[in-house]
Amino acid sequence: MTNDDDQYEVEADNRRRQAADLEHIATYYALEKRRGIRVALGGRVRHNGREGAIVDTAGQRLKVMFYGDEEQSICHVTSGMAYETAAGWIDATPVPDPWAVAPTG
């Protein structure tokens, strides 16, 4: 196997990992269904008001390159996040915790 073949395999593995992560994010958080947000590589985001673009995934989280930064940041999909859509910026909302107990009183 040549170095070019090795690099091709690494890139293919990376794309498969990203696709699996994005599929999990889409299924678990259901942002497209609930809010009209499609989470994708290259998508523009705001995290606590800072703008950037999704450049990779990290399991259930996103790697974002914020404008002006030199290094990627890892961000939770919904916490403090807004996504640019055709309709404008839309805030992500967390999925309700099925194990949360309502306070009694």
H helix count then E strand count, the chain: 2, 6
CA 35 vs. chain centroid, Å, equals 14
pLDDT at 50: 97
Residue-by-residue pLDDT tens, the chain, 105 positions:
577 788 899 999 999 999 999 999 999 999 999 899 999 999 999 999 999 999 999 999 999 999 999 999 999 999 999 999 999 999 998 877 666 666 665
pLDDT at 36: 94
Q: What is the pTM of this model?
A: 0.83
Helix (H) or strand (E) holding 31: helix 31-35
